[in-house]
Structure formats: C-alpha cells, structure tokens
Structure 1
Amino acid sequence: MLTKDARERKFIGRNNILKDRNGEIEGILVSALDITERELLKEELEYSKLKLEFFANLSHEFKTPLNLSFSALQMLTLYQDKILNPEIEYKFKKYTSIIKQNNYRLLKLVDNMLDITKINSNSFKLNIDNYNIVEFIKRMTYSVATYIENKNRVLEFKSDVKNKEIPCDIFVIERIILNLLSNAIKFTDEGDVISVNLLDKDDYIVIIVKDTGIGIQEDKQKIIFESFRQVDKSFIRRNEGTGMGLAIVKLLVELHGGEIRVRSEVGKFTEFIIELPTKQLNQVKESINNYDIEEKNLIDRIDVEFSDVYGL
C-alpha cells in the first residue's frame, strides 16, 4: 500500500463478517495491521546474517592461500643456511622478509574485517576471566621493546599499583594494547617517547597509551574511532592502514563495559585513555592459564598487529 507521500507500507489484512441477532449479515469489518517495521527488521537481520556468512567465507578464502604462503616461506628459510653467496643470502633474507610482513598485513586486514562484522552482528564472543591486568600489561609492553627500540623510540611503563585483577578476555586486551602501541610507532619520529601508564581508580582501571609524536588535529579526533575512517586519506600518507584499527579497539573496549577517549595536541602528544571496570567474576574458569600456554605464539601475534609498521 502506498501512503500519501508515495511511501510503501506493508499490512496484514483481516475481514470479519458482522451479523445481527437473527444471523443476518449487516456488514464486513476490515482491519489492517501495519507490519512495515517488522518486515524491515526481519530483512535487516537476514542481511546481517548473510553479511556475516559472506565475511566468514571471505576470511576462510583469504586465509587458505595465506597459510600456504606461510608454509612455503618456512620451507624457503630451511634452505637459507645453504646459500653460500653472501650477496644472494642478503637478498634472500630481504625479499622473504617483505613477503612475510605483507602476509601478516593481509592476515590483519582479514581478521579486522571479520571482527567488525561479528561485533556489529552481536556474534563476537568474549572469554572473560579474572586476570592481573598490571602484570599482563607490563609483560605486553616490554614484549615489544625490541620493535620500538629498533625504531629509535623510547619506551616507558609506569603503574601506581603492583597488582590489580579485573574481568577481561586477555587475548582481546592484548590486541587492544598492541594496536595502540603500533599506532604510536607509526605517528612518532626517532627520539620520541611512547609510554604505557596504569592508574588504579578502585571501581575501574585506567590504561593510558601516550606518545610524543605528531598529534591529531581537534576536528579529526572526533572521527578516528569510526570504522574505515583515516585521519590522512591521501595516497602519499606517511603510514599504511585501512582505518579499522581504532574502530575495532573502541568496539572491543566497549564489549568489556569500558570506554576509550583521546587527548591530543598537534606537534606535542597523543594519548589514548581506556577505562575498564574492575568488578571480578565470582567463579574463576579453568582457562585462567590459557594465556601462558599461548604465549609461545606471542611473537606471531605481535608481527600481525605491527605488520603495517614498515622498517622494523
């Protein structure tokens, strides 16, 4: 049915026969229920499901050749020691390193696309447990010390408390911190300082990732957490990126019941401030040591998150 302003509306109609006391038909009562919004919601849910399935399949299709490429690279490195010519060995290491880094970059892109889709369709699941966030963030910060020092930046870690347990998905927190640290590297120069500070506010813990880099213009600060937004849109920008990193960070922080904001002054500093609630779970899961088990793969996860930082 079309309305006066030519908009289409969907209705369910029903006819009821009206009779008098003698059973004679007096008329027909016609009623209609507007189901336009219900149908639109149904279509949106179906579209979200299709979109999720599409990106899940796309992720699989991308990861299959990537895994094969990684396997081929591993095989190539086995022959590295057999190269006797120093010049050829140097070129071999150089080009295999380029291939590996760009494979990681593609993997990061695929993961980001899939995760944004999952979060927006409410199908991203957190594995929440109680963790000592201070010790964990400290370990995470120093795990990338070599990367940062190789870029001639200064790395600092400070905390006003030694121990503080909070409920979180530790792998998601790892991803948040690595993303912010890689971001800090990209927008700083040699000699700049990158710091991670923790503040205990009883009901919540504050994590501040700060750098003394180029800063962000005030009007750009309002859009940096939006999906697919980039502060520098030009093709000659100084750093690579899709504009999904900070959007995912914000979504992941919010899934934890927290919030993130940015403070910056052009030419002086940028700091990302995260606040996470500290109310612990009453029952601790048996998965409490899962992170220790998976720490052997930490270097690979760092390589993925730092894959768009060239020159490491």
Structure 2
Amino acid sequence: MQSTSDGILVLSNDFKVIHSNECFYEIWDIPEVLRFKNDALMLYEHCRNKLVDSSEFKSKIFFVEDLTRCYADCLKMTDGRIIEFVSSLLVVKSEIKGIVCSFRDITDRNKVYDLEKNLLEKKKVIQEAERYNKLKSQIFSTISHELKTPINIILASIQLIESYKDRTPKCKQCCPFHKYSNAMKQNSYRLIRLINNYIDINKIEANFFSLDLKNTNIIKIVEDITLSVVQYARSKEIELIFDTEIEEKVISFDVEKIERVMLNLLSNAIKFTKTGGTINVNISCNESKIKISVEDTGIGIPLCMQSRIFDTFTQVDQLYRRKAEGSGIGLALVKSFVEMHGGKVVVESSYGKGSIFTIELPIKLVKEKYVLENENRLIQSKIEKTMIEFSDIYALSAND
C-alpha cells in the first residue's frame, strides 16, 4: 500500500484506523500528531475542515448507512483541489470487517478536462465565425461585382457623351449635361474605388490574391506616380516634393499594386494636410531593401491609434470622417500589398504635427518574359487610376 500513488485509509467497524499510507497523509495534509493515532473520528474532524462542504466527508465517506457496493465520488477542497475517492466494504471470510477508502488528487486531470471542454467550445465558436465570415465574403463579393457592372456602364456613357460634346462646340452651351458631368464622373470613380477595395480585401482574406511580379525600375514608378498627383496637391496649395538618393533601381514588384499603395498614401497625406503644408516623398536604399517614405505636415495620428490604423475599416477618429471621405479600407490594403511583396510598412506620427509612412521592399529579381506594352494605353490607364484613387478628395473642374 505504501508504493501506490493513491491515498489509502482502512477503517474498522468501530471506526478505528486499521491502516493508512503516506500518500493519504499528504493528500489531506495530516499533521504528525494525528498520524500515529488510530482514532478515525479525530481524522474526520481534521479532514472535514479541508472540504468546501464539510458535511460531505461524513455523508460520503464515514457512517455510510447501507454500503453494499463500491461507492465513488469527488470532493472539493478549500485550496481548490479536486479529490476523487472510492469506498468499498472490507470483507474477510464473508464477514464485513470495515471500510476501505482510496483517495486520488485529480486536480490536474480535471483542469485538462475543463481545458479540453473549453477548447472544444471555442473551436465550435471559431468554426461558426469562419462560416459566417465566408458567407459575408461571398455576399460582399457578389454585391461588389453586381454593382461594378452598372457603374462601369454609367461611366462609359458619361465618357461617350463627353466625347460627343468635345466634337460639338455648340453643345457646351446648349446641353445642361456638361454642368453635372464632372460630378457624375467623379462619384462614379469613387464608387469604383470602393468596390475595387472591397473585392481586393475579400480576395486577400480568402487567400485568392496573387501578384504580377515584374522586374521594373521602382524609382521611375514612384516618381511618375508622385508627379501625377501634383495638381491635386496644388489645388489645396500644398507643396509636394520628390527626392531620391538613386536614379535607378530595378527590383521585382507588382507595378499596379505598388502604384495603388503610393496613391493611397499620397491621397491620405493630401486629405489630412492643411493649406500651405508640405508633403515629401523620399527614396533610399541599401544592399537588401528599398525604403520609400511619404512625410506630411498634416494632423497626425494619436499614439493610441497608430497600432490600429492598418486594420480593416479603421479610421483615426470619427471627427475626421466629416472632414474627409474614406471607408477605412485603404491602409489595410496598403499593408496587405506590401507584405505580399515580403516587405513591411510602418508609421511614425506626432498628433497635430504630421506623419511619416515608410515602406520597405526587398531587393530581388524574378525571371520574366519580355512583353511589349502600349505606352499610350499605360499612360491613359495611369491617369484613370489616379482619378479613381483621388476621387474622394478632388473635384474635377468644369473645364477638364
């Protein structure tokens, strides 16, 4: 009995201790003064004080009125432990001589059981959340695609009427459409931008998004994009400065995605920089990475928000929603696009003083096939892309 890991207590019919082992003493923390006495009632007084419900020791272990079979249960200790016990009759030559009780500390086992139960419950919650998230993504994707088709038709119709207007000088004076066409076109671009962002976010969440990597001079791409938005900065009397340490650096990246990253950062900088402010775009590099920074003298970002601004649908403050349009998706896409390139984006900001967004991209090349691109088509695509990304901060003039 001394070698077993269970606590053993053997009582006679007159409640004298016939036998007990060391493990029993340890489980119940029996003091030395009681260990050498064979009075079960003294042990009872000590042990019942160790229980959350002191009556359990008497009702479940001692004075069992009709113990005709093995009886098992659990006891809750005041120190938080769970003790499993089994009581059975001590029978010698068909004669009942007493009771044999064994005790086992199952606290750890009970914790494991509770942990497994909690894990199963959480797994069910996660599975349910994933199911709803998948359903949400499907709904977003369906709605986005259904909206995109009619908006493109509307925009194409506006452009068709504008082309007719350009060929008919007198139409400008006689057709009221001209007065509203720019606002219609701008808001169509805004809707296209919003829908594109929703579609891309859903593709990224579903791991159904891929990059079109090409070896390209990133300095030229960033410079061209920066220069393409100078007119937007001038409309708010903001100075936009481009500076680079190197004139050319060919790396592998998805041109369209990096253009959208830059347009988003520049759009935010212009939106939240007051008249007379400055925006600086700087490029530097070392042996392993390219750094592109967009620094503004705008309103800045509170420290408590800087860790959240790259989360989907997060905006710095509800107050700014009234000052500038936005869905809270743009920076989430910026982070996703940059990280898909193996890079990272960080922000440094002082509230009320301005912000610096820095993109780091790894310097690497990929094997690619040379494809001759139509330069005029690329220029036109870039102009429209800029108009889409800046559609929520720029009102097209009546002469454009």
Question: TM (normalized to structure 1)?
Answer: 0.80
**TM-aligned CA deviation for residue 289 of structure 1:** 4.4
The one-letter amino acid of 2:218's match is I
Alignment RMSD (CA, Å) = 2.9
Describe how 1:147-158 pairs up with structure 2 within 5 A. Answer: 147-158=232-243
Task: Please report how far the alpha carbon of residue 84 of structure 1 lies from its aligned counterpart in structure 2 after TM superposition.
Answer: 6.1
| Local SS of the residue matching 1:177 | helix
- Choose 1 or 2 for highest CA Rg: 2
Q: 1:66-89 CA distances to partner (integer Å, 9 max, x unpaired)?
A: 02211221233224633364xx76
Aligned to 2:389: 305
Q: How far off is 1:273 after superposition?
A: 0.4
- Determine the structure 1 residue equivalent to 2:220: 135
Structure-2 separation of matches of 1:185 and 1:146: 11
Question: 5 Å matches for 1:1-312?
Answer: 50-77=135-162, 78-79=164-165, 81-83=169-171, 85=173, 92-234=177-319, 237-281=322-366, 283-287=367-371, 289=373, 293-311=377-395
Distance 1:40 1:234 in 2: 35
Question: Structure 1 vs Structure 2: percent identity of aligned residues?
Answer: 40
Contact 2:280 2:296 in 1 (8 A): yes
Q: Distance in 1 between matches of 2:380 and 2:223?
A: 17
Alpha carbons of 1:84 and 1:275: their partners in 2 closer, same or farther (altered >3 Å)?
closer
User: For structure 1, which segment, 199-208 or 66-75, has the greater mean C-alpha deviation from structure 2 after superposition?
Assistant: 66-75
Structure 2 residue identity aligned to 1:112: N
Distance 1:6 1:41 in 2: 15
3-state SS of the aligned residue for 1:229? coil
- Larger mean CA deviation between 210-219 and 271-280 belongs to 210-219
Aligned partners of 2:314 and 2:273: how far apart in 1? 20
Distance in 2, Cα, partners of 1:218 & 1:290: 46
Aligned to 1:27: none
Larger RCO (CA under 8 A, 6+ residues apart): 1
Q: Deviation of residue 152 (structure 1)?
A: 1.4
Q: How many residues end up aligned between the 2 structures? A: 281
Pairwise CA distance, 1:149: 1.7
Q: In the TM superposition, what is the alpha-carbon distance from 1:48 to its structure 2 partner?
A: 5.8
In structure 2, the CA distance between the partners of 1:287 and 1:126, relative to structure 1 (3 Å rule), is farther
Change (3 A) 1:92 1:286: same
TM-score by length of 2: 0.63
Unaligned runs of 5+ in 1: 11-35
Q: What is the CA-CA distance between 1:193 and the residue it aligns to?
A: 1.1
Work out the CA distance in 2 between the residues paired with 1:186 and 1:210. Answer: 13
Farther-moved stretch of structure 1 (291-300 vs 163-172): 291-300
Is the 2:186–2:395 Cα contact (8 Å) retained in structure 1? no
8 Å contact kept, 1:215–1:268: yes
Matched position secondary structure for 2:318: coil
Partner residue in 1 for 2:24: none
Q: Deviation of residue 9 (structure 1)?
A: 8.9
Pair 1:139–1:4, CA change in 2 (3 A): closer
Q: Aligned residue for 1:19?
A: none
How far apart are 1:46 and its partner, in Å? 6.2
For 2:222 and 2:114, how far apart are their aligned partners in 1?
A: 60
Give the Cα separation in 2 of the matches to 1:186 and 1:66.
Answer: 25
Contact kept? 2:232, 2:394, Cα under 8 Å: no
